[in-house]
Amino acid sequence: MNGQEKVIFTKEELAKRVKVPAIVEQDLKRIISERLEQCGLYFRVFSRIKTASSMAHKFEMKEYGGDRKIQDLVGVRINLYFDDDMDICKNIMEHTFDVLGWSTSERSEEEFKPAKLNGVFRLPEYLKDEISSDTWEMSIDDTFEIQIKTMFFEGWHEIEHDMRYKGEELWSHYPGFSRYLNSILATLELCDKSMVTLFEDLGHALYKSGRWSDMIKSHFRLKLGEASLYPEVEELLNKDQEQVDSLAKRIYKTRKSVLVDQLLKRSRKIPINVNTIIALLNDSQFHDSRLTAIFKERDVYNDGREDSLAESRHCEMRPLTRHTVFQMCTQVDGSRLKTDQPISNELIFEQAADYIYRWIVQRYGGLFKDMPQETTTYHADVLAYHVNVKFDREKHTMNMHVRHMDLEVGGRIWYSEACLEIDGQDRVMLKLCNGYAEPQKEHHFVQDSAGIFFSYPGYYKSITDNIGIFNGIECMNRRRILKEEQIPVLKAALENTERTFPIVVIISKEDKDGMMDEDWLCQFRVSDFTRTVWRYAHVFTCYENVGKKLLEVLGVCSKEENQKEIPRLYIFWPDGDFDDFGEEDVKNCSFGRHLEARGDARTYDIVRGGQAFYHKIVTDLRDWNVSAHMWEGFKLEIMTEIPG
């Protein structure tokens, strides 16, 4: 390393100092997609931001330091459907970003590897400014990587990367299997080449048959609109066949890269169809006056623009509908506050307000450079990003509303709003609502459930974890065993009309050793369940005798009925209703657990028994939270709310 000492950073150091906002990744992906769409290539684009764990592993395994730095903090992968588009795509990227260099897969005659190009590019300055400045002090370069490969090789690349590139020991003593894999890779390479050859041969046959539109589609292999070839152009191409260097022949002989280059030179995106393709080639290559006259009369580059679905859908405005993903109304009691100062409502209010404001600065400070670091009143807007904070230290009130656009789902706006105050009963009260708004979907029989996106904001987590809240009863993040003398306290909490937390009570029998027997819950895992739901539900466990006493006190069942009710799990909802479940409910439960919650696709993992019951109860608690009427919102001095 030219005398330079190798550097190593821990995962914790990297997570703390390297901050890459999602907008960096999304903007790079958007720019690349728009350029490729402009020329009609068939492609798919994926992206990722390197995780702290991945960077730490890379620092450990390789020699970094001095001039050698990690260059793929952000990575973009472009998968192409046609092998001959790789060089075209490479050229497009070089004209879009500042390229530092390319590397390619080196393959011998006896070896097969995926055909791919890796390019390193300088981050655009405005995106570099979004990344934390500490990043550049940690042997990380202000670059990003673009990897270009074909869809055929993409299908097996991850397996090959993990099982061959990272697992050479698997093959070291089994050359027969290695040769077998090589034969498969050779087949994939042949598929890439054969697909291009197939369409080229088909294009030649169509050219010979005088099917000009189909010939253009097969030869250039671009995403074309539905427009038909102008009759005047078709007539001209038919008549011109008698010429040695006919127009149709010149179109067929034009390389795809020449056409793509012309598409990219246009100052704005034009509809891509058989007419615009011929017009572009005529303007740049043929200069045939007959074609020029036809296309001028037709206004070819604007013809069909209004019918473009991609453009027309952006003009369609529909009212936004709000969907709550978390809400809460609770007292902040200071039970978890660690301080040498006397705990007062004023101190609790100040600490909670600081947590809320710091969360806003962390989320939106990169966009609004003038945002003060100390808790204060602040208002700023830029396009779909909005921050409004009204803070009165003397009156002990804080109202805030923030919102931003979803970087993955078009038309969706995320928002969070909160009200913090010392109320007339001398309590610090927190009201908050997290949610999103989007246009009402059409032609969808099933709408997305807001519960799928269940998510409380970071400031609520900070307040519950570090200050503490009281919701009918003190909130705790560990399982609680209910004792008989505590029954009146729990009864008071159940009867508290201001309670917004459901209360879960698990009643179990004693085993032969006198311990609480929870085998009937199978894989329910009470402690894990408590840690999962404690910020929006209370969880109590109790022995059979205490449980029976509780049920009698609450009037749930009489002494005569008690024997058959145990073991049970009860959920006491804030509206006074309750659900009860027995041993058979747990054993016979089946649940389709969501593995993927974003996008239109839904991926499920079917679980049964105690594990299924665990997910069912968690889902029931979350669904109640998002559907309850505990939050009515508030109005700031300027209109900030999204209409319901």
Cβ contact 32:39 at 8 Å: no
pLDDT at 638: 38
pLDDT at 61: 87
Cβ contact 320:413 at 8 Å: yes
CA distance 247 to 534: 74
435 Cβ neighbours under 8 A, 6+ residues apart = 322, 323, 324, 325, 326, 327, 414, 415, 416, 450
Alpha helices in 457-579 (DSSP H): 458-466, 487-495, 526-533, 544-554, 559-565
Q: CB-based burial of residue 483 (10 Å sphere; 0-12 exposed, 13-18 middle, 19+ buried)?
A: exposed
CA distance 68 to 63: 8
Residue type, 495: E
- Angle of CA points 507, 512, 516, to nearest 5°: 25
CA distance 523 to 605: 16
470 Cβ neighbours under 8 A, 6+ residues apart = 330, 331, 332, 333, 335
CA distance 111 to 272: 39
**Burial profile 311-331: b = 16 or more Cβ within 10 angstroms, e = fewer:** eeeeeeeeebebbbbbbbbbb
- Angle of CA points 149, 151, 157, to nearest 5°: 70
Which pTM does this prediction carry?
0.55
Q: Is 119 helix (H, G, I), strand (E, B) or coil?
A: strand
* Structure token digits, residue 77: 């992968």
pLDDT at 379: 94
Q: Is 477 helix (H, G, I), strand (E, B) or coil?
A: coil
CA distance 76 to 79: 10
CA distance 434 to 630: 12
pLDDT at 635: 44
CA distance 330 to 328: 6
- CA torsion sign, 191 to 196 to 201 to 205? positive
CA distance 279 to 270: 12
pLDDT at 156: 62
In the block, residue with structure tokens 């309670």 = 499
Cβ contact 435:322 at 8 Å: yes
What are the residue ranges in the chain where pLDDT is below 70?
1-4, 105-115, 154-172, 304-317, 441-452, 558-564, 592-605, 631-644
630 Cβ neighbours under 8 A, 6+ residues apart = 327, 328, 329, 500
**Burial profile 240-252: b = 16 or more Cβ within 10 angstroms, e = fewer:** beeeeeebbebbb
pLDDT at 107: 53
